[in-house]
Structure 1
Amino acid sequence: MKEEIQAFNDKQAAAEKEICDLLATAIDDELTEAECKIWHAHPVWFLDGNPVVGYCKLKDCVRLMFWSGAGFEEEKLIVSTGKFKDASIRYTASDQVNLSDLERWLKKAREIQWDYKNLVKRKGQLERLK
């Protein structure tokens, strides 16, 4: 795990740290070609400069978000109601993380992408990449 991601995880309370470590390891294992970094204060993984997955600590949980998750057609992922194509799931304990679901979602994150990298250049209009 990248040092800056581990540092983010280490700042969390024990239960949240366990969730964050589990998520980071699973994402790194599946998206081996992805670049990961702290982006807007949260761990995010990018494929060819496009954000695809990340997580953040909210007041009462850890939220795992897929930037293009609305297209995954997965009932466990909550689709955002905004103009973006994101979907997420929230965890309060590491045993809630279903690794087979997570692996499937990460494969979809590679296959289904909207072009967030060029969102500003396109004046807020999203285009489907894959």
Structure 2
Amino acid sequence: MKPTTIEEFNAAQNDCESPICEKLMHEINRGLPMAESKIWHGHPVWFLDGNPIVGYNKLKGSIRLMFWSGADFEEPDLKPGTGKFKDASVCYTGVEQLNIKDLKRWLKKSTEIQWDYKNICKRKGKLVRLI
């Protein structure tokens, strides 16, 4: 059965990955108190005004934290995606790898640097910078 809440998603992970998810959820909720959060395309995602900002998912052997506009954060630990979009991510295999200071900085940047993913279909795949 697919999880319908972020808590269910976190609980469904293995003993190493569940604490990573719990910590990420806690820090993201704390850093983005104004964001709406939900399961979107099968994994936890936080939105500002309907625009996806940050989320995490399970990869083989790790949890990936992704920022939709992270490629423009100029953060060496966030690795850009394919280049088609402005996403960037980092993978964790243990909760001890999370650097809360970095995460707080990235969350702050996620409110300051945003591309409009909400309207990407209306614009036929073209991304427009919001802030």
| TM-score normalised according to structure 1 size | 0.97
Q: Deviations over 1:60-79 (max 9, x none)?
A: 10000000000100000001
Matching of residue 37 in structure 1 with residue 38 in structure 2? yes
Aligned-partner residue type, residue 91 of structure 1: Y
Aligned-partner residue type, residue 113 of structure 2: I
Q: Deviations over 1:30-52 (max 9, x none)?
A: 10000000000000000000000
Matching of residue 53 in structure 1 with residue 72 in structure 2? no
Q: Which runs of 5+ in 2 are unaligned?
A: none
What's the offset of the Cα at 1:82? Answer: 2.8
* RMSD over aligned Cα atoms: 0.8
Aligned length: 128
Aligned-partner residue type, residue 75 of structure 2: E
Q: Which structure dedicates a bigger proportion of its chain to helix?
A: 1
Counterpart in the other structure of 1:118: 119
Q: Which runs of 5+ in 1 are unaligned?
A: none
Moved over 3 A (4+): none
| TM-score normalised according to structure 2 size | 0.96
CA distance in 2, matches of 1:120, 1:47: 18
Aligned-partner residue type, residue 17 of structure 1: S
Aligned runs of 1:1-130 on 2, under 5 Å? Answer: 4-130=5-131
